[in-house]
Structure 1
């Protein structure tokens, strides 16, 4: 049965509702949700604005819109998010990949592109960082580890969907899954670990409210996991290997001090696209 709504009128009505709900990106969110309901690309909205929705499509779109109006992230609603031009499946068991995290990939590539050696991604989540690096350096083996078995399974599924064969994902706490393997060494270790303080007000705002708290919060003013990884990475890095972190905008100095105190050399902090400290890395000589 045909709906009274056309593509154009459904889109406009949804934008108004999202604006009333204090949504920060109503036009984008409405378009993404409508495309998902129609199972069409974004270009369809521009090409066929006068096309009527079916009753089923209208019902599906309204259901998606209702979820977004409660604050649920669009990525969780449609089950997908693009990262480094890779379409990744996401779920509430993982963080939603964000553009700022692409800076970690860029910095890692800048330091190690064209070199040899295995790569390790700690707290891999959807596998976003690991898969981005694996796609850019297909001659190197990438291993991702996550504490949550659902995340490990999701990352594995993403690798299979993208036909990326040089990435493997393990389940466990930080370096634990590697302890039984003999002489495992990496030329690059990257991580986007939990780095938010447990009383940070941002935890009760926006998309973060729906994301797994264990992937966000760390003790010691958000630095506990960064400290732990920095200490233990020394036993898993090849000589002259690099360790790189994503961290909070105000943690650059603290992360540099942690790494320098542990003997890392050439420690430097790189800024994100907004001009904030975001990635700190250093080289370790064993």
Structure 2
């Protein structure tokens, strides 16, 4: 890059470089990475635009730029992502929390109100859903599960960061595998793997190349294997009248509609659209008896 690079000059150069590499939002990526390397907020970059970078800062920034140009997600480089206005640690062992997943938190809070309740978070990953719910509602007791021990380590740190670890019990298991079939939960919430084999090849390189495949691929061409297993087993663990909220993939609502209607254990269901108009969340209620 040269020897006398100011903050502004570095941002301008990197923006052009990322644009040539086909990186979306190249300036935003350049600013986020530089702010991370310098330990600043993005707004501070403009207040110090003529500040030169040291040799050490340039070296660390070059490495961050190299990783991003190789399509590694910015969030894995900075090790953080905002979700529900809270900052979460993320890494290659967990999915990066998406804005549409906030729909699960929003609708869970509508269902739960302010009273005490017992919740299960299947496939917690970074713990974003559990931590957000516990942060909003201090009367909740949450069991959060994941097959990945490394994911659970990150989830525990996120719970500690937001002072909710005393109300979330983290368990390493595959779906309901380690639980006795008892109707203990008022709500089951889950963002399961749901990418189909046919769709996986179409994902952005940042997703397919770096995010954990076990948390992405739902099984089968349509990605419905895990979802169907949850729908089959969840009545054993929900209280009468209890609810399930599950994030699903594009076009999966139509594929699931008939089998949900024919399930005698379900007395109500609806599909909730995300901000793009995609039917993104399945909400259902177990028969109240």
- TM-score > 0.5, shorter chain as reference: yes
Does residue 1:76 correspond to 2:76, yes or no? yes
- 1:104 to 1:44, Cα distance in 2 relative to 1, 3 A: same
Stretches of structure 2 lacking an aligned partner (at least 5 in a row) = none
- 1:183 to 1:162, Cα distance in 2 relative to 1, 3 A: same
SS, match of residue 188 in structure 2: strand
SS, match of residue 52 in structure 1: coil
Spell out the pairing of 1:52-201 with structure 2 (5 A cutoff): 52-164=52-164, 165-179=166-180, 183=182, 185-200=184-199, 201=201
The question of whether the paired residues in 1 share the 8 Å contact of 2:71 and 2:205 is answered with no
TM-score, normalised by the number of residues in structure 2: 0.93
Give CA-to-partner distance per residue, 1:182-232, whole Å, 9 cap, x none: 846110101111111113232463333211111111224211111111111
- 1:144 to 1:122, Cα distance in 2 relative to 1, 3 A: same
The question of whether the paired residues in 1 share the 8 Å contact of 2:183 and 2:235 is answered with no
Does residue 1:281 correspond to 2:280, yes or no? no
Farther-moved stretch of structure 1 (255-264 vs 214-223):
255-264
CA distance in 2, matches of 1:252, 1:235: 23
CA drift at 1:25: 1.3
Count how many residue pairs are aligned between Structure 1 and Structure 2.
283
The question of whether the paired residues in 2 share the 8 Å contact of 1:117 and 1:140 is answered with yes
Does residue 1:224 correspond to 2:225, yes or no? yes
The question of whether the paired residues in 2 share the 8 Å contact of 1:15 and 1:27 is answered with yes
CA drift at 1:177: 2.9
SS, match of residue 129 in structure 1: helix
CA distance in 2, matches of 1:236, 1:38: 48
What is the alpha-carbon root mean square deviation over aligned residues?
1.7
SS, match of residue 159 in structure 2: helix
CA distance in 2, matches of 1:119, 1:131: 12
Give CA-to-partner distance per residue, 1:155-204, whole Å, 9 cap, x none: 0111012211322211011112323xx84611010111111111323246
TM-score, normalised by the number of residues in structure 1: 0.94
Farther-moved stretch of structure 1 (257-266 vs 70-79):
257-266
Q: Which residue of 2 aligns with 1:249?
A: 250
Give CA-to-partner distance per residue, 1:118-171, whole Å, 9 cap, x none: 011101100011111111111111111000111111101110122113222110
Q: Which residue of 1 aligns with 2:269?
A: 267
Give CA-to-partner distance per residue, 1:39-71, whole Å, 9 cap, x none: 111121121111111111111111100000000
Find runs of 4+ consecutive structure 1 residues off by over 6 angstroms.
Answer: none
The question of whether the paired residues in 2 share the 8 Å contact of 1:188 and 1:237 is answered with yes
Stretches of structure 1 lacking an aligned partner (at least 5 in a row) = none
CA distance in 2, matches of 1:152, 1:204: 26
CA distance in 2, matches of 1:58, 1:83: 30
CA distance in 2, matches of 1:249, 1:29: 27
